[in-house]
A and B are shown apart, each in its own frame.
Chain A
Amino acid sequence: GENVEQHPSTLSVQEGDSAVIKCTYSDSASNYFPWYKQELGKRPQLIIDIRSNVGEKKDQRIAVTLNKTAKHFSLHITETQPEDSAVYFCAALYSGAGSYQLTFGKGTKLSVIP
């Protein structure tokens, strides 16, 4: 089955700096890579996603890059704000031929210091 590794497990940045979270996956058949933000005690919320036919996607201060050859993808947050503080999870999905398997990374706790 799929295995998703996520690093770092914790990340502290100064407000205004950039934050980068990296994930690797093992199954080359995975074709969809969402990123979720989860605040304490709340539901995971989708913040950005990317498909395997795209190398990069950007939405305002958030961007995701995908390297299919190396099987890794990264989340980039620029101009961080205190409200960006949360746990971020990457995930990799294989879907096709009646199968749907979403595997999550272990999460990164991001702290943005004012």
Chain B
Amino acid sequence: GAVVSQHPSRVICKSGTSVKIECRSLDFQATTMFWYRQFPKKSLMLMATSNEGSKATYEQGVEKDKFLINHASLTLSTLTVTSAHPEDSSFYICSATRGGEDTQYFGPGTRLTVL
């Protein structure tokens, strides 16, 4: 149990376009979902935390108007990178926790390349 999926796995887009990434918990209801960004050979950097039905909490330095997060149900959260630029190219990973647990279960990640 505790499988998290992400879609798409890879996306290449032109500068100025918006990209939506979906994160789904497949076999459990995720009380909380997290979005991370990971640059090559670096650690995971938390971007935001989202709870179903409420606004996401963004980490310091993360632009909420650029990285739109929607957590519409207990199994789905989306991250939209608006007006993407080459510096937004990165590996975006979501994770989710089950109710009453501390463990985060990670999705497979989305490789975003902005040309």
Inter-subunit contact A107/B43 (CB<8 Å): yes
With A32-B102, A34-B103, A49-B103 as contacts: A43 and B44 at CB distance below 8 Å? no
Docked complex Cα distance between A36 and B44 (Å): 11
On chain A, which size bracket covers the interface?
Answer: 20 to 34
Docked complex Cα distance between A107 and B34 (Å): 19
Q: Which of A13-21, A77-85, A97-105 contacts B (4 or more CB under 8 A)?
A: A97-105
Residues of chain B contacted by A102 (CB below 8 angstroms): 34, 46, 104
Inter-subunit contact A106/B42 (CB<8 Å): yes
Q: Of all chain B residues, which has the CB nearest A102?
A: B104
Inter-subunit contact B43/A104 (CB<8 Å): yes
Q: Answer yes or no: A64 CB below 8 A from chain B CBs.
A: no
With A105-B43, A106-B43, A107-B43 as contacts: A43 and B106 at CB distance below 8 Å? yes
Contact mask for chain B residues 96-115; partner A; CB cutoff 8 A; 1 contact, 0 none: 01000011111111010000
Size of chain B's interface in residues, with CB distance under 8 A? Answer: 21
Inter-subunit contact B105/A89 (CB<8 Å): no
**How far in angstroms is the closest Cβ of chain B from A100?**
7
With A32-B102, A102-B104 as contacts: A44 and B44 at CB distance below 8 Å? yes
Inter-subunit contact A95/B102 (CB<8 Å): yes
Residues of chain A contacted by B107 (CB below 8 angstroms): 43
Can you pick out 16 interface pairs between chain A and chain B where the beta carbons lie within 8 Å of each other? A34-B103, A36-B106, A41-B109, A41-B111, A43-B4, A43-B106, A43-B107, A44-B44, A46-B105, A89-B43, A100-B97, A100-B102, A104-B44, A106-B42, A106-B43, A107-B43
Chain A residues in the interface with B (C-beta under 8 A): 32, 34, 36, 41-46, 49, 89, 93, 95, 100, 102, 104-107, 109
Report, nearest first, the 8 A-B pairs whose CB atoms are least far apart. A43-B106, A32-B102, A43-B108, A106-B43, A44-B106, A104-B43, A104-B44, A107-B43
**Additional A-B contacts beyond A41-B91, A43-B4, A100-B102 (8; CB < 8 A):** A36-B106, A43-B107, A43-B109, A44-B106, A95-B102, A100-B32, A104-B43, A106-B42
